[in-house]
């Protein structure tokens, strides 16, 4: 069983060096004390070491010395900090980098203010992004940097990062089937290097520039959706009957996701103050819209079925701030983001439909059953097409009459085919 912090404190030196595991090939190395000529004790101490195999796929092993055990405040390594460092090094190893070559670069990065690590440039780039982009875009960049990019490149000198390292980084995600994510991460990498050159005046041959070797054609995976209309009425009946006996608020949230076809993370945090009953408009603030939106508040014309569901929710949660308030939300005052898809699965549609699939259903059946244009439906979904003329004119016109007409007909179509409020 791996040692705890209290166990480490209790380890005593022996005549020879010995190691004790703290889990995941991370060890505490306890060194013997020596007696000096003057009779005083020297040597000894406890050190964190990590055992890893490199190159990948081989049995060749290496020992990596992390540092001296002790309190972080004393410039030493606590158990938690050592485990975090081990995880960072393991991430680098999986990306095809040998951790033993990192130490020299990390030492060089601390020699002066002119030595720019990737992390330092990325921090400055993020400062620029905060002033130039919406909160949702900034959060997305920040998540990609902290969870994927900085653990690999953060402590490396930016001038020493190679094309091969960037290629292997992207390839490692592609090999796990994360094609779209690999492309997005590479774009963030490229922007950081562009910032280093264009703003900080560095002369770096951008190693993250796309090449024919890193481009892989792939079919984008779509969220499961009921695209054959014959499958829709049975689902509407099961949803109306709350066939699985799920929480009432969750069942109504799924109805509204179907009627509005906006993203789960955009609608579930909604507050009653966002509802204009008189104008029959539901406003989703711009900062809650995903990055591929138009940078404006998103307006949802409220059809009769939408209003009816909201009125029912108001009878329960009207005195609350959140529309979808529930005591079962995780770390939030509203329904958890995974609740709608879990409810759909409990209704018997696991693998056939998820909450995000309502967007594809509206686009498909809105065109085929109601005859509306893809541009209008896509615009109402809060997305829009970058090449669309409708999108380009969005800020000026918003196409509210057309969108209101579609929302009313979409609600009527669902009700006529079995949706009960």
> Based on the domain organization, do 187 and 331 belong to the same domain?
no
Q: Are 68 and 158 part of one and the same domain?
A: no
Alpha helices (runs of H) in 39-178, residue ranges in sequence order: 79-94, 102-109, 118-132, 135-144, 150-153, 163-174
The pairing of strands 26-30 and 33-35 is: unpaired
In a shared domain, residues 216 and 239: no
> 56 and 170 share a domain?
no
- Cβ neighbors of 396 (< 8 A, separation 6 or more) are none
Look up the domain containing 303 and give its range.
229-416
pTM of the model: 0.54
Q: Which of 406, 420, 401 is nearest to 366 (CA)?
A: 406
The reply to whether 23 falls in a domain is yes
Residue 244, in any domain of the structure: yes
What domain count does the chain have?
A: 3
Domain contains 121? yes
**Cα gap 66→106, rounded to integer Å:** 13
Of 45, 76, 107, the one marking the end of a domain is 76
Residues 213 and 236 in one domain: no
For residues 236 and 349, membership in a common domain is answered with: yes
CATH number at residue 284: 1.10.443.10
Q: What is the pLDDT along the chain (421 residues), one digit of tens a residue?
A: 678 888 888 898 888 888 999 999 999 988 887 665 555 555 568 888 999 888 887 788 888 888 888 876 555 788 988 898 888 888 888 887 877 766 555 544 444 435 688 998 998 888 878 766 777 778 888 889 988 899 999 888 898 899 989 988 988 888 877 788 888 899 999 999 998 887 777 888 899 987 665 565 555 567 789 889 999 999 999 999 999 999 999 999 999 999 999 999 899 999 999 999 999 999 988 878 765 444 578 899 999 999 999 999 999 888 888 999 875 544 457 888 889 999 999 999 998 999 999 999 999 999 999 998 888 888 888 865 444 444 444 443 468 899 999 999 999 999 999 999 8
Count the alpha carbons within 13 Å of 347 in the hemisphere toward its beta carbon: 27
Quick one: 207 and 237 in the same domain? Answer: no
- Supply the CATH number for residue 182's domain: 1.10.150.130
216 and 237 in a single domain? The answer is no
Q: Is 160 helix (H, G, I), strand (E, B) or coil?
A: helix
Q: Is residue 49 part of a domain?
A: yes
């Amino acid at each position: 069983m791996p040692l705890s912090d209290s166990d480490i404190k209790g380890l005593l030196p022996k005549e020879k060096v010995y190691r004790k595991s703290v889990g995941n090939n991370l060890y505490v190395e306890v060194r013997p004390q020596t007696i000096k000529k003057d009779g005083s004790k020297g040597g000894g101490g406890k050190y964190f070491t990590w055992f890893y195999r490199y190159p990948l796929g081989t049995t060749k092993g290496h020992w990596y010395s992390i540092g001296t055990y002790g309190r972080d405040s004393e410039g030493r390594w606590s158990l938690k900090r050592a485990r975090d460092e081990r995880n960072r090094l393991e991430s680098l190893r999986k990306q095809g980098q040998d951790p033993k070559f990192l130490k020299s670069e990390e030492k060089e990065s601390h020699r002066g203010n002119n030595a720019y690590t990737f992390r330092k440039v990325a921090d400055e780039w993020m400062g620029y992004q905060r002033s130039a982009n919406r909160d949702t875009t900034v959060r997305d960049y920040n998540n990609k940097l902290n969870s994927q990019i900085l653990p690999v490149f953060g402590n490396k000198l930016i001038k020493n990062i190679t094309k091969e390292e960037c290629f292997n980084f992207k390839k490692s995600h592609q090999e796990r089937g994360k094609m779209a994510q690999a492309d997005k991460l590479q774009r963030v990498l490229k922007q950081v290097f562009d910032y280093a050159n264009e703003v900080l005046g560095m002369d770096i041959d951008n190693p993250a520039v796309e090449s024919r070797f890193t481009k892989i054609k792939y079919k984008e995976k779509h969220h499961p959706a009921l695209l054959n209309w014959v499958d829709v009425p049975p689902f509407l009946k099961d949803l109306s009957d709350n066939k699985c006996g799920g929480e009432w608020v969750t069942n109504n949230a799924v109805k509204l996701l179907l009627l509005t076809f906006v993203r789960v993370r955009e609608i579930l945090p909604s507050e009653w103050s966002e509802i204009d009953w008189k104008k029959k408009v539901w406003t989703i603030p711009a900062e809650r819209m995903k990055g591929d939106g138009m940078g404006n508040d998103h307006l949802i014309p409220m059809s009769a079925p939408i209003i009816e569901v909201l009125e029912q929710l108001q009878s329960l949660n009207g005195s609350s701030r959140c529309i979808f308030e529930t005591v079962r939300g995780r770390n939030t005052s509203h329904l958890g983001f995974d609740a709608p898809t879990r409810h759909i699965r409990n209704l018997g549609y696991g693998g056939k439909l998820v909450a995000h699939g309502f967007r594809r259903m509206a686009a498909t059946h809105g065109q085929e059953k109601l005859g509306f244009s893809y541009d209008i439906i896509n615009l109402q979904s809060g997305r829009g097409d970058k090449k669309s003329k409708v999108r380009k004119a969005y800020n000026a016109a918003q196409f509210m009459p057309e969108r209101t007409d579609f929302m009313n007909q979409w609600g009527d179509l669902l009700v006529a085919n079995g949706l009960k409020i």
